[in-house]
Amino acid sequence: MTRAVVNGGPSAVRRRGAGNAVLGLAGLCGFLALVEALPRLGFVSPDHLPPSTDIAAALVDEMSDAAFWTALGDTLTGWALGLFIAITAGITTGMVISIVPYLREATASTVEFLRPIPSVALIPLAVLLFGTGLRSTLLLVVYAAFWQVLVQVLYGVQDTDPVAEETARSYGLGTWARIRHVLWPTALPYVMTGVRLAAAVSLVLAITAELVIGTPGLGARIAVAQTSHAVPDMYALVAVTGLVGVLINAGARAVERRSLAWHQSVRGEVTP
């Protein structure tokens, strides 16, 4: 009730949504105009930052090239596979650590030690183990995304209402039933936050791996454009990675909203 009143009702929410979209679009247009103006007015050399119209032309060129779509596919494969492995491993590991007595305390320092190690530092290891193939990308992606999910699962499970937990126990619910009906619903909002963060981090690491190691994908294509001094092409590809990031984030938010439709944070207060 209160929330609906503050927002001025559902139609106001819709209007505000439309207003946000217009504002967002205006912001984007402003940014594009800035990139167009800076080189044209001589603030930066167009050799180093071409105007946005040149970048757009290069983007159209790229899109007519089959190799571009293959590269995009390679990047998305590395991203999706890595994210999937990280989520599966993160959730299972997190649940096991939370459920098995004393395991959380025993692993806490190790987790805190491993978590801040940047994935990029593992590049030499990845190359040594897997060369310049997809598995090198996966190693970096999984390592970066895994901790995002794991830590959220740990926090999520810790947030379980002790009364609900005790009630479940006193009703004789088994481990599986307690996970299913008590731990999992409590942890899910945290897990979804972890998944959303992991989805973004995975893309960053997939592109980084391609850029630095040369595994096939958009990143490797950016690197080739860079070494070839095809400056507009390079910026066009960079823009594509940004675009993919926006889509991935929008997708992750949609998944989050759907899977948490029942949760307070998404559904809000019930309006009469």
Partner 1 sequence: MRRLPAGLVAVALLAVAATACGSSSSGSSGKSSDGVTTVRVGVIPIVDVAPIYLGEKKGFYKERGLDLTLETSQGGAAIVPGVVSGQFQFGFSNTTSLMVARSRNVPVRAVANGVASTGKAGADFGGVVVKGDSPVKSPKDLAGKKVAVNTLKNIGDTSVRESVRKAGGDPKSVEFVELPFDQMPAALDAGQVDAAWVVEPSLSVAREQGARVVASNFVDVSPDLTIALYFTSDKLAQQDPDLVKKFAEATRASLAYAAGHPDEVRDILATYTKIPEKTVQALTLPRWPEEPDRASLERLGELGRQDGLFDEAPDLDALLP
Q: Which residues contact 89 (CB under 8 A, 6 or more apart)?
A: 142, 146, 149
Binding mask 133-162 toward partner 1 (x if CB under 8 A, else -) reads x-x--xx--x--------------------
| Among positions 77, 80, 107, 130, the unique one binding partner 1 when judged by CB under 8 A | 130
The yes or no reply on residue 129 touching partner 1 (CB under 8 A) is yes
Q: Please state, in angstroms and rounded to a whole number, the distance separating the CA atoms of residues 41 and 94.
A: 54
| Among positions 41, 42, 48, 113, the unique one binding partner 1 when judged by CB under 8 A | 48
Of 10-18, 29-37, 170-178, 183-191: span binding partner 1 (CB under 8 A): 170-178
Of 26-34, 40-48, 104-112, 258-266: span binding partner 1 (CB under 8 A): 40-48
| Among positions 35, 179, 182, 240, the unique one binding partner 1 when judged by CB under 8 A | 179
**Residue 139 near residue 130 (C-beta atoms within 8 A):** yes
Of 24-32, 84-92, 113-121, 159-167: span binding partner 1 (CB under 8 A): 84-92
Q: Please state, in angstroms and rounded to a whole number, the distance separating the CA atoms of residues 235 and 34.
A: 15
The yes or no reply on residue 99 touching partner 1 (CB under 8 A) is yes
Distance from first CA to last CA of the chain, Å, rounded? 7
DSSP 113-181: HHTTS-GGGGHHHHHHHHTTSHHHHHHHHHHHHHHHHHHHHHHHHHT--HHHHHHHHHTT--HHHHIII
Which tokens in the block code for residue 103? 């395991």
From residue 98, alpha-carbon distances to 151, 183, 198, 200 in Å are 11, 10, 20, 26
The residue (of 189 and 219) whose beta carbon lies closer to partner 1 is 219
By CB under 8 A, what part of segment 207-266 binds partner 1? Answer: 211-214, 220, 223-230, 233
| Among positions 32, 85, 238, 255, the unique one binding partner 1 when judged by CB under 8 A | 85
What does the binding site for partner 1 look like in residue numbers (CB under 8 A)? 45, 47-48, 85, 88-89, 92-93, 95-96, 99-100, 124, 127-133, 135, 138-139, 142, 174-176, 179, 211-214, 220, 223-230, 233
